[in-house]
Amino acid sequence: DAGVTQSPTHLIKTRGQQVTLRCSPKSGHDTVSWYQQALGQGPQFIFQYYEEEERQRGNFPDRFSGHQFPNYSSELNVNALLLGDSALYLCASSAQARSNTYEQYFGPGTRLTVT
């Protein structure tokens, strides 16, 4: 049973560019959440997708957008990159039908460096 997978593993971009990160949830999961983890900090919630719609959003600007596909996989897009966007981006998946467990499974993350 494959867990949560993310691609790419590492990415280097220049200020002002745009980036797309990808996530495939664990088998049987239908909800994907994205988190940003700056160096030395705890993860910060960006947004969550369920049934191909953004259901919740954290305190992140509109430069951060996402998408969920019919197969439950998801993308995170960041436009007009800033140096401060450099971080580890984590994807987590869960299953709504069993949401009372509040158990989210995390992927290994994508390390984004903005120069």
Give the residue, chosen from 33, 76, 81, 112, that forms a contact with other proteins under the rule CB under 8 A.
Answer: 33
Q: What residues have CB less than 8 Å from 103, skipping those under 6 apart?
A: 94
Between 45 and 79, whose beta carbon lies closer to other proteins?
45
Piece of 18-26, 36-44, 65-73, 75-83 that binds other proteins (CB under 8 A): 36-44
Q: Which of 32, 31, 11 is nearest to 78 (CA)?
A: 11
For 81-115, the three-class secondary structure string (H helix, E strand, C coil) is CCHHHCEEEEEEEECHHHHHHCCCEECCCEEEEEC
> Interface with other proteins includes 18 (CB under 8 A)?
no
Binding residues for other proteins, rule: CB under 8 A, are: 4, 31, 33, 35, 40-45, 48, 50, 55-56, 58, 90, 92, 94, 96, 99-100, 102-109
